[in-house]
């Protein structure tokens, strides 16, 4: 059993590794992994009956691991990550319910049905939409909205509320948002429910 000092050293090494990856690749949308407060807020939005989840921009798996803790045994989680430094971390998560995809979200969201999910209950996205061209942003949201089941949700966490109008365009008044200041860079967490 690791002691407190070993655990803190491990956490610090992970944060440094994450920062290095972020500095080498501008497409990484954060400087550190999401805080436990962000993770908790996102997990609150997952209904117990959600079995089929897609995560855009899974990073080093900090949210992925927590989703797997509450995912039903017959559930599936597809984690999509573009950054090669994080793919190894995701593939090291030993859980048969996890499918790791090393690709661009824009490519994958057009063909998500190939991963054998009977439906998609929720999509969680941490990809840095502000670094994506507006036309591609709209395409990603449209494709995502279309693939989510009729009672599903789209959860987006970002450093700005940039995606709020896009969510409202598809989800109408079924959009809520929260501000979580307890993160190295505070996040807006936006939730759109399919009509």
> Are 82 and 104 contacting, i.e. CB atoms less than 8 angstroms apart?
yes
Q: Please tell me the predicted confidence (pLDDT) of residue 85.
A: 87
> What is the pLDDT, as a whole number, of residue 28?
43
Report the alpha-carbon distance of residue 77 to residue 122 in Å, rounded: 10
C-alpha distances in angstroms, 63 versus 21, 42, 125, 169? 17, 9, 11, 27
How far apart CA 11 and CA 8 sit, in angstroms, is 5
pTM for this prediction: 0.85
Domains annotated for the chain, with CATH where assigned, are 4-193 (3.40.50.150)
From residue 8, how far is each of 2, 37, 174 by CA, in Å?
Answer: 10, 18, 40
3-state secondary structure (DSSP) of residue 1:
coil
- Integer Cα distance of 68 and 50 in angstroms: 12
Say which DSSP state 111 is in.
Answer: S
* pLDDT by position in tens, the chain (length 195): 566 555 455 454 554 444 444 444 444 455 478 999 999 999 999 999 999 999 999 999 999 999 999 999 999 999 999 998 899 999 999 999 999 999 999 999 888 777 889 999 999 999 999 899 999 999 999 999 999 999 999 999 999 999 999 999 999 999 999 999 999 899 999 999 997
């Amino acid at each position: 059993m690791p002691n407190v000092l070993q655990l803190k050293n491990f956490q610090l090494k992970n944060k440094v590794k994450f920062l290095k990856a972020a500095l080498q690749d501008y497409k990484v949308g954060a400087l550190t992994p999401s805080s436990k407060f962000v993770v908790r807020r996102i997990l609150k939005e997952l209904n117990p009956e959600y079995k089929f989840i897609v995560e855009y921009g899974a990073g080093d798996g900090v949210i992925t691991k927590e989703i797997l803790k509450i995912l039903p045994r017959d559930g599936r989680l597809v984690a999509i990550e573009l950054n090669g430094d994080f793919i190894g971390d995701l593939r090291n998560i030993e859980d048969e319910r996890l499918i790791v995809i090393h690709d661009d979200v824009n490519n994958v969201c057009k063909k998500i049905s190939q991963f054998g999910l009977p439906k998609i209950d929720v999509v969680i996205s941490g990809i840095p939409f502000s670094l994506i061209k507006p036309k591609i942003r709209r395409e990603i949201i449209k494709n995502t909205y279309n693939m989510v089941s009729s009672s599903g949700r789209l959860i987006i966490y970002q450093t700005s509320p940039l995606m709020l109008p896009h969510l409202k365009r598809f989800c109408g008044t079924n959009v809520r948002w929260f501000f979580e200041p307890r993160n190295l860079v505070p996040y807006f967490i936006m939730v759109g429910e399919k009509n």
